């Protein structure tokens, strides 16, 4: 006779793996967003002399969230 708890285990493992890969993708996307936002902020500053604060703030938030998400996955 099969145990009902043992049949639930194979289902949980692929879901956990999928969540882990999704977390890696989200972390890398945050880092990519950071570089794009800082590049736009620098370009705006160079062309106009005005600091693009909104792009810099989004870049800082992405720069914090990306490594945090990646560190959580590799912990």
What are the sequence ranges of the domains in the chain? 26-75
Residue matched to tokens 């914090």: 64
Which pLDDT tens digit goes with each residue over 27-67?
899 999 999 999 998 998 899 988 888 888 988 998 998 88
pLDDT at residue 69, as a whole number: 85
* C-alpha pair distances (Å), 50 with each of 2, 42, 47, 63, 72: 68, 10, 8, 22, 36
Instruction: Report pLDDT for 10.
Output: 58
pLDDT at 2 over 80: no
Q: According to the model, what pLDDT value does residue 32 have?
A: 92
- In sign, the C-alpha dihedral spanning 46, 50, 53, 58 is negative
Residue 66 vs residues 6, 11, 27, 29, 44: alpha-carbon distances, Å = 36, 28, 4, 7, 24
């Amino acid at each position: 006779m099969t145990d009902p708890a043992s049949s639930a285990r194979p289902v949980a493992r692929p879901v956990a793996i999928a969540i882990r890969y999704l977390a890696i993708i989200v972390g890398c996307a945050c880092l990519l967003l950071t570089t794009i936002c800082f590049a736009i902020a620098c370009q705006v500053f160079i062309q106009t002399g005005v600091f693009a604060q909104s792009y810099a703030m989004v870049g800082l938030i992405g720069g914090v969230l990306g490594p945090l998400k990646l560190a959580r996955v590799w912990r």
